[in-house]
Amino acid sequence: MTQNSVLIIIGGGIAAYKSLETIRALSRRGIRSRAILTRAGAEFITPLSVASLTGDKCYTDLFDLTDEAEMGHIELSRSADLVLVAPATADLMAKTANGLANDLASTALLATDKPVIWAPAMNVRMWEHPATRRNVRTLKGDGGIFVGPGEGEMACGEFGSGRLAEPTQIADAVEAWFDAHADGRLTGRHVLVTAGPTHEPLDPVRYIANRSSGKQGYAIARALARMGAKVTLVTGPTGLTPPAGVDTVKVETARQMLAACEAALPADCAVCCAAVADYRPQIETEHKIKKERGGLSTIALSENPDILRTLSNHETSRPKLVIGFAAETDDVIGHADAKRKRKGCDWIVANDVSPGTGTMGGDNNTVTILSEEGEEAWDNMPKAAVAGRLAEKIADALLGKK
């Protein structure tokens, strides 16, 4: 499996159904999953449902000869960067704490050389039992990381500690682990990233804009920061929380975005992901324009500054690597490559935003990287995964790796 991958072990219990949403939450963060479903877990969810979300086979049987030939349990236990047990039952924790291995899940847990995150889920009496508390101490002493359990009403009707942590909490813990163990290859490098739309005001109420959510640009800023880069994120209006560890500059208009970008120079790399409005109203009124007076029937427009072209041709502080984005609805590659040549940038990331793709505002993207060397098409994947892969490619370029 590739970087940022998790082997998720799904224990038995009613909370097993939440593992499906946990896989989704990890995917939205660009983290791939491979799964082992215990026999008890399969009483609550099916291997097919798990496999459909991971995009990989769901592993269940220790003695499946095909799996042993193609993906032995030792290799499976070490195939990911991290092991996640969610839900972690009292039985799974007891087996691991005491070195027992009689099925695929417990064997993988003993054979792995990777860190293990435990997300317990069980009845409150089971959680509070001295044997369980002893096993938890042992697992923590062995380096195990715990998420939860939470407190609340349980499926059995009792109330107390033992509820599985919410899928987003579990995914946050996994993501935090990856953040803490990032490779830092871009330490000492400065990267400028633009994101989101720009709003070009017509009056105090209305503006010209587009459908950009900012998700792809924010994900890129975060991925670069995780690699140690000093990141300046210049963002138009979005509903997103700025990534931690990133210098965020909030702007509204294209002219403000250009000014903020130039103020952030010099930079080693600029990633122009923002969907900047091409035009703005020539006149911004101080009062709301009334349609009854015909004020909205004709709007005179002026062309906005071209941020990508300006940075690509900057006379004094051109970044070593300038990357643009091309959101197209037809002849995607042709229009994008023409834009690359016209603007003078080094790479263009072409993405199809035609109706039905769900790219604008969605969580996934399908991109093609265009440069002088040719084109490199990537499969559809979460925007966080696109960001991680692009950050790796940027690091390779800045560090001179082919």
The domain of 145 spans 5-180
- Judge if 279 and 394 occupy the same domain: yes
> Catalytic site residues?
156
Assess if residue 185 is contained within a domain: no
> Is residue 369 very low, low, confident or very high in pLDDT (cuts 50, 70, 90)?
very high
pLDDT at 1: 37
User: Annotated binding residue at 305?
Assistant: yes
Q: Is the peptide bond before 149 cis (omega within 30 degrees of 0)?
A: yes
Q: What single string gives the DSSP state of each residue in 195-208?
A: ESB--EESSSS-EE
- State the CATH number of the domain containing residue 44: 3.40.50.1950
308 and 346 part of one domain = yes
- Whether 57 is covered by a domain: the verdict is yes
pLDDT of residue 161: 79
pLDDT one-digit tens code per residue, 64-121: 645 555 556 677 887 888 999 999 999 999 999 999 998 899 999 998 999 999 999 9
Name the CA dihedral angle for 182, 185, 190, 193, rounded to a multiple of 10 degrees.
-50
Split into its structural domains, the chain has a count of 2
Position 2 pLDDT exceeds 50: no
The verdict on 15 and 162 lying in the same domain is: yes
In this predicted structure, the answer to whether residue 291 has a pLDDT above a threshold of 80 is no
166 and 206 share a domain? Answer: no
Percent of the chain at pLDDT exceeding 70: 93
Do residues 54 and 111 both lie within one domain?
yes
For the ranges 175-189, 246-260, 349-363, which has the lowest average pLDDT? Answer: 349-363
What would the pLDDT profile of 129-169 be if each residue is shown by its tens digit?
Answer: 999 999 999 999 999 999 989 887 766 666 667 889 999 99
Residues 157 and 27 reside in one and the same domain: yes
Dump pLDDT digits (tens) for 4-27. 899 999 999 889 999 999 999 998
Query: Do 31 and 122 have their domain in common?
Result: yes
pLDDT value for 290: 78
Q: Which among 161, 180, 199 is the end of a domain?
A: 180
Whether this prediction's pTM lies above 0.85 is answered by: no
Question: What pLDDT is stored for residue 155 in this prediction?
Answer: 61
pLDDT at 73: 67
Alpha-carbon separation of residue 132 from 88, 120, 202, 369 (angstroms): 12, 11, 64, 51
Q: Is residue 75 part of a domain?
A: yes
Of 180, 206, 241, the last residue of a domain is 180
Q: Confirm whether 385 is domain-assigned.
A: yes
* pLDDT of amino acid 285: 81
- Residue 319 pLDDT level (bands cut at 50, 70, 90): very high
402 annotated binding-site participant: no
Q: Please say if the pLDDT value at position 308 is more than 90.
A: yes
* CATH number (domain holding residue 311): 3.40.50.10300
Whether the pLDDT of residue 49 is over 90: the answer is yes
Same domain for 165 and 35, yes or no, is yes
331 contacts: CB under 8 Å, gap ≥ 6: none
Q: Is 242 assigned a ligand-binding role in the annotation?
A: no
Instruction: State whether 153 and 201 are in the same domain.
Output: no
Return the pLDDT at 273. Answer: 95
Residue 63 assigned ligand-binding role: no
Whether residue 175 is contained in a domain is answered as: yes
- Asked whether residue 253 carries a pLDDT value surpassing 90, the answer given is yes
Q: What is the mean pLDDT of the chain?
A: 89
pLDDT of residue 206: 87
Residues 256-278: tens digit of each pLDDT: 999 999 999 999 999 999 999 99
Q: Is 288 annotated in some ligand binding site?
A: yes
Same domain, 247 and 388: yes
Phi and psi angles of residue 99, each rounded to the nearest 5 degrees, phi first? 75, 25
For every residue of 232-280, DSSP letters joined together read EEEE-S-SPPPPTT-EEEE--SHHHHHHHHHHH---SEEEE--B--SEE
Q: Which pLDDT value is given to residue 361?
A: 73
Q: Tell me, yes or no, whether 312 lies in a domain.
A: yes
Percent of the chain with pLDDT over 90: 62
Evaluated on CA atoms 164, 169, 171, 177, the torsion sign reads: negative
- According to the annotation, is 114 in a ligand binding site? no
Residue at a domain's end among 146, 180, 214: 180
| Residue 57 is labelled as binding a ligand | no
HSE-up of residue 218 (Cα within 13 Å, Cβ side): 21
Please tell me the predicted confidence (pLDDT) of residue 108: 92
Query: How confident is the model at residue 294, as a pLDDT?
Result: 60
Shared domain check, 352 and 215: yes
Whether residues 176 and 293 share a domain: the answer is no
The predicted structure's pLDDT at residue 234? 97
* Whole-Å CA distances, 271 to 8, 66, 93, 115, 230: 34, 45, 45, 34, 13
Average pLDDT over residues 167-196: 91
Is 317 a domain residue? Answer: yes
